[in-house]
Chain A
């Protein structure tokens, strides 16, 4: 039996290294002016309809077969376990007249499939999740039943954190501001916003956020998920309709469900289907009574975190105007990371923010802080301040986080350290385009649009997920693998999150290893029709050639389909 002490994650003391090295580990210095890309606004031009690259039939077949084998083995395992090892399966059986916490059927996928690869998730880390992330080494026991820790750590190249602009740092202006705020305001923020929780720092942070996104006013919340989950009930009821993209985040779905509003979904980014649905709904009205809807809200995300695709904003604005609907855009991943000046999707498409009724976003990602915001016209926000539950009952954003938000915003706009924000934006744009085009040229299937800092690379067979994740960890690269239910059943993928903190050489290192692992796991299955090939042949470039030619090519839009 293993003692409890050894299964406890150890507290790792900070590394004793020179300040320069520490800074470099958190945010790599730019190695050449060549490795920057200044994005341009699209001036209201809509996106082309996306092409999805599908793999050959045998890949799909193998993937299904893979699931079949896992499911059959799982059922055999369950059957034997419940017959011979009752002691170990107490958690799914009734006990003393109490129902189990979860039923055997509900938890089958988690117990028999996910648990096999649990070592790829929830890896404990320490320190700053910047350019490198320090993973704490662990040893798995009894098929990931529990882990023990050796006390060692490995520095891994970080392709997993949502550190888009590289503001996860422990040195620099943001940290200084955070420390000053801790001195002045303490770590604690006293109570709900409407009672005592509003400080002058909240007011100024809200002003900065509103100005940054181009709206009249904004509200801040201490948690991104909670922002959405407790938002929609403030202005929707069961006589309102929400038209939601099929791939919207769970927080939006929870929030809408809580509001009681009717929900209709349309196929991801399919603007034709959306228009048809809106027309039908306005004509038909409420589902039973056929009375007209009180209001219709279209909910989309700016950048989809599992797909790397973007909402087709110009088309959405056109539809919204034509049919008098309201538009809600969740910019969790796009704010800060997209657009020539980092102001998100509006900036990217060159659309006036006043065309979007409600803009929501998180501050966890690009700004290296925590929480979320909602921005709208002032008269709308004034109402929200009274009708939303979080500010009346929940905790407010703490001061150090606010200081981080304000300082990172000022850095992006150039009020602090002029030029630094611009460089960060140019670096992430270059890194995202370089990695994407390089992977496509190597022959991998990659989803999403050219400038997306989220680069999802398809693995298909579920068994390739742990293989990929473990092989990358051996090569000191931290990646995130995702599968069903976050993606369609057969489209298991690895999600690479590009950061401005990475240098071009880091991406070269990454590409060399992905290339090797990709060959071993037979991941190069693209046909090239969605990108990476101009002649219609499946691209299978040599790695040297890719690294030599892509940095220049990736700045050219003609190599992408956007």
Chain B
């Protein structure tokens, strides 16, 4: 039992409070203190509180208030953000709203654009042959012994019987698929060897293999950029790189296509702005461009780019899908073309094994640190199965042949130049069309001249781009550009005439316009390869020429 004398009076008797309340409070306080003292170290706390109360009674009052407030705050229900202005709906109203909601169809068929489906050629046999049989429009149109100017297998080395024999031997020893991602037993000895071969062929420290060329840029750039990083890109880069810039979330600036003055101005401006900002750490900065441009076939001025990147401390990213195997005396790409070393001039090179090298997949070249990080941070590498072993071994063999003998590269260059001269030197043709590609590009790109576009469709590259941007930004579901469509149809008529009258297969540059975020024009491309003859090119040229004149002359 507790003696009531031990219980102190917590409230002074001078204040008129009912004695029952006083004694209850006193007892509660007493028990609290008694139990509190049992906790080891509690007397320190009590001493401290007493002392603080002695020094500054006001502070005790404030602290008690604070404790009370925190208890009230803790117990009160949290208010939902933004819940204030939302009307409370009854179950019935919700059901009605759900009933009323009508979604759009999953895709919207559009007859105005679907003529393209019937124009896709289906090749019987390999599409890499020079003379092929094709059908179109679900087999309703058939063409035999067509001269093929569409294949990207520029060097034709992977069709060498020795290479095919090796590929078959690998299938006999490894099977077809690799059945696993690179990190989990999917990369076999042949994969590591190709990575080694690529690095030594191109003179870089390391290389990384990917399963598909189109995925690489859009996976590599996001692996190295995050919010706050800076990318300065050419305004004619391909869709793959455009996607990359969107996925990586860096700040993106565009400079005028291949215009080094525009680039320098931009870099200078950015540099000044950065100096003012005083960031805690330097952001990662990249210049993104292409070796031979996908859409125009022009060559990026590497020496100037390298000079600028060194001056302004940027890293250089170059997509060499079309330049590897084509540019340079031995097909080592853009750097060889300008007599520069790859390891010191380009920081990230993206290349394709499915163009000039003639296998499947793609690769990235660069230094060890970059490669190592990519093997962990790049989605398309980590989350996808490795390339089939036979494709990898084929690529190794092609590199070996390229290293020993550059005759196909030389021949390809000769043919590319011939083709370029034929078109570029033709005054009649140049009234209607404009060749945009470089003379050394194995793909010749041509498009209507700006005047013809204005005359025939009353449009320009800018007007099409503006309209396209508007529709993209407003998420117009039945995206359609009349001027673009008509120009594409005209080009398709040229392609069709060349096929029907001259038995020559060329192709429009097929694009998905609503995914393109940069200005572009409809385009036709003509691909040559090292197994063609000059006379064949001349015949093809005559056929294409008359097709162009047939459809472009007259208004």
Contacts and interface: CB of A to CB of B under 8 A. Distances in A.
A403 B117 CA distance: 24
Interface string A281-294: 01100000000111
A363 B98 CA distance: 38
B369 interface: yes
A544 interface: no
17 contacts: A96-B313, A127-B173, A129-B178, A185-B125, A187-B360, A188-B158, A194-B510, A223-B384, A225-B379, A279-B98, A362-B385, A364-B385, A365-B179, A383-B107, A401-B177, A401-B388, A480-B185
Interface stretch (B144-152, B417-425, B458-466): B144-152
Contacts of B164: 182-183, 186-187
B8 interface: no
Contact of A129 (B180, B360, B477, B505): B180
10 shortest A-B CB distances, which residue pairs? Answer: A394-B214, A190-B127, A225-B384, A9-B192, A223-B212, A196-B150, A395-B354, A97-B313, A223-B211, A161-B179
Given A170-B175, A222-B211, A250-B383, A124 B187 contact: yes
A386 B179 contact: no
B342 interface: no
A519 to B, nearest CB: 26
A258 B282 contact: no
Interface size of A as a range: 35 or more
B284 interface: yes
A415 interface: no
Contacts of B390: 182, 187, 400
A235 B82 CA distance: 31
Given A225-B383, A292-B101, A390-B214, A9 B106 contact: no
Contacts of B515: 233-234, 389
A198 B120 contact: yes
A398 interface: yes
A136 B387 contact: no
A359 interface: no
A226 B381 CA distance: 11
B174 A128 contact: yes
Of the candidates B171, B359, B382, B477, the one having the most CB atoms from chain A within 10 angstroms of its own CB is B171
Nearest to A294: B104
Given A99-B285, A101-B369, A121-B183, 19 more contacts: A8-B193, A10-B189, A14-B173, A98-B313, A124-B187, A126-B189, A128-B175, A129-B186, A168-B175, A170-B174, A175-B171, A187-B163, A187-B358, A187-B390, A223-B215, A226-B380, A279-B98, A297-B106, A390-B212
B359 A187 contact: yes
A197 interface: yes
A213 interface: no
B492 interface: no
Interface stretch (B24-32, B35-43, B108-116, B252-260): B108-116
B128 A186 contact: yes
Interface stretch (B237-245, B331-339, B402-410, B426-434): B237-245
B514 interface: yes
B517 to A, nearest CB: 11
Contacts of A200: 122-125
Interface stretch (A65-73, A77-85, A323-331, A335-343): A323-331
Instruction: Using C-beta atoms within 8 Å of the partner chain, give the interface range for chain B.
Output: 35 or more
A126 B175 CA distance: 11
A235 B282 contact: no
Contacts, number: 379
Contact of B101 (A158, A324, A326, A394): A324
Nearest to A22: B173
Nearest to B171: A178
A503 B124 CA distance: 42
Interface of B: 89, 94, 97-98, 101-110, 113-114, 116-117, 120-128, 148, 150-153, 158-159, 163-164, 167-168, 171-180, 182-190, 192-193, 196, 211-215, 218-219, 224, 238-240, 243, 246-247, 281-285, 294, 313, 315, 352, 354, 358-361, 369-370, 373, 375-377, 379-380, 382-385, 387-388, 390-391, 394, 475, 477, 505, 507, 510-512, 514-515, 527
A196 B475 contact: no
Contacts of B190: 11, 126
B168 A182 contact: yes
A369 B388 CA distance: 8
A382 B238 contact: no
A204 B480 CA distance: 32
A229 B380 contact: yes
A162 B180 contact: yes
Interface in A290-318: 292-297
Given A128-B173, A364-B385, A386-B113, A98 B315 contact: yes
B214 A226 contact: yes
Interface string A358-400: 1000101101111000001001101111111110111100111
A404 B218 contact: no
A94 interface: yes
Nearest to A278: B98
A469 to B, nearest CB: 11
Nearest to A193: B120
A14 B174 CA distance: 9
Contacts of A129: 175, 178-180, 185-186
Contact of B109 (A136, A168, A382, A390): A382
A9 B195 CA distance: 10
A191 B150 contact: yes
Interface string A200-216: 10110000000000000
A369 B177 contact: yes
A226 B359 contact: no
A160 interface: yes
A239 B477 CA distance: 10
A195 B510 contact: yes
Contacts of B361: 395
Contacts of A8: 192-193, 196
Contacts of B218: 229-230, 258
A125 B175 contact: no
Contacts of B512: 234, 386-389, 392
B471 to A, nearest CB: 10
B225 to A, nearest CB: 11
Interface string A165-188: 001111000110011001111111
Contacts of B373: 101-102, 107, 110
Interface string A97-131: 11101110001001000100000011111111110
A237 interface: yes
Nearest to A158: B185
A254 interface: yes
A375 B386 CA distance: 23
Interface string A465-496: 00000000000001010000000000000000
B475 A238 contact: yes
A193 B152 CA distance: 12
Which residue of B113, B174, B243, B375 has the most chain A CB atoms within 10 A of its CB atom?
B174
Nearest to A402: B176
B377 A102 contact: yes
Nearest to A169: B175
Contacts of A130: 175
Contacts of B184: 121-122, 160-161, 480
A330 to B, nearest CB: 12
Contacts of B183: 121-122
Contact of B94 (A128, A258, A279): A279
Contacts of A279: 94, 98
Given A193-B120, A258-B246, A293-B103, A199 B283 contact: no
Contacts of A238: 475
Contact of A386 (B117, B196, B527): B117
Nearest to B226: A106
A178 B212 CA distance: 20
A127 B174 contact: yes
A370 B176 contact: yes
A1 to B, nearest CB: 15
